Amino acid sequence: MPTENAGAVEVHRDGTVAVITLRRERKRNALSTHMEAELLGALRTTEVRTSHAVVLTGGESVFSAGADVTELRSMTPEAIAEYYRASGSVYEVLAGLPQPTVSAITGYCLGGGLELALATDIRVADPGAVFGFPEIGIGILPSSGGVARITRIVGVGRARDLVLRGRRFDIAEAERWGVVSETADPAGHIAHALRIAHDLAAYSPLALSVTKQVLTLSADTPHHAALLLEQLAYSALNKTTP
């Protein structure tokens, strides 16, 4: 049952889980600046802010075939910088949500669509999902966190292969390399993601939020500093009620 942001993006609640659905199927959920702005608005709704976990999906047939890059082609460098501060910030806003996020993927998950999925904490996909960064083919590169995140997930060598060659990869490779956590049954990606999200939502929201922040910071932190973060977080959480 949609509540806010009816149009290109739909938000509803499934208990304590917020479900955000991209609704531009006729354009294979191409991420226009308008759609990014709607998604940014969706992330700030009461439904999302008060949820214990979030599921992001593109619906039953496609996650997203990528960003609508034709919009940016005529922009000046100044206008592009403003874009990243405005609707283009949605990828980092999604990544920065305090609650855990799960993306439910089917069909194309390419370019900006893959960058959007990589901004979530856990990714599940059905066997028909197709992944890739095709940007090099049109003379650009992933620029919404895609290069940084895919490098952390698959390693520098594999990331070079995927980004420089712009080649697509399937669900078996995605799961083997850690791009997705689990493969869902055919057409079962949304239900699978919801099960994971409800499992997560049963835990302490504070513990989830703090642990998520520690995991994020530890990826780029020296071992001794990451260890201190863990210990300080444990100390803070130890006196809270689960």
The C-alpha atoms of residue 21 and residue 195 are separated, in whole angstroms, by 16
112 is catalytic: yes
Catalytic position from the list 8, 42, 67, 129? 67
Asked if residues 27 and 8 have their Cβ atoms less than 8 Å apart, the reply is: no
Question: Residue 188 class from Cβ within 10 Å (0-12 exposed, 13-18 middle, 19+ buried)?
Answer: middle
157 catalytic, yes or no?
A: no
Question: What angle separates helix 156-165 from helix 146-154, to the nearest 10 degrees?
Answer: 140
Catalytic residue among 10, 111, 135, 174: 135
Contacts of 63 (CB under 8 A, 6+ apart): 22, 29, 57, 103, 104, 105, 106, 107, 108, 109, 113, 117, 125, 129
The verdict on whether 60 is a catalytic residue reads: no
User: Do 122 and 167 meet the contact criterion of CB atoms below 8 Å apart?
Assistant: no
Q: Which of 38, 115, 117, 174 is catalytic?
A: 115
Catalytic residue (choose from 58, 66, 107, 112): 112
Q: Which residues are catalytic?
A: 67, 112, 115, 135
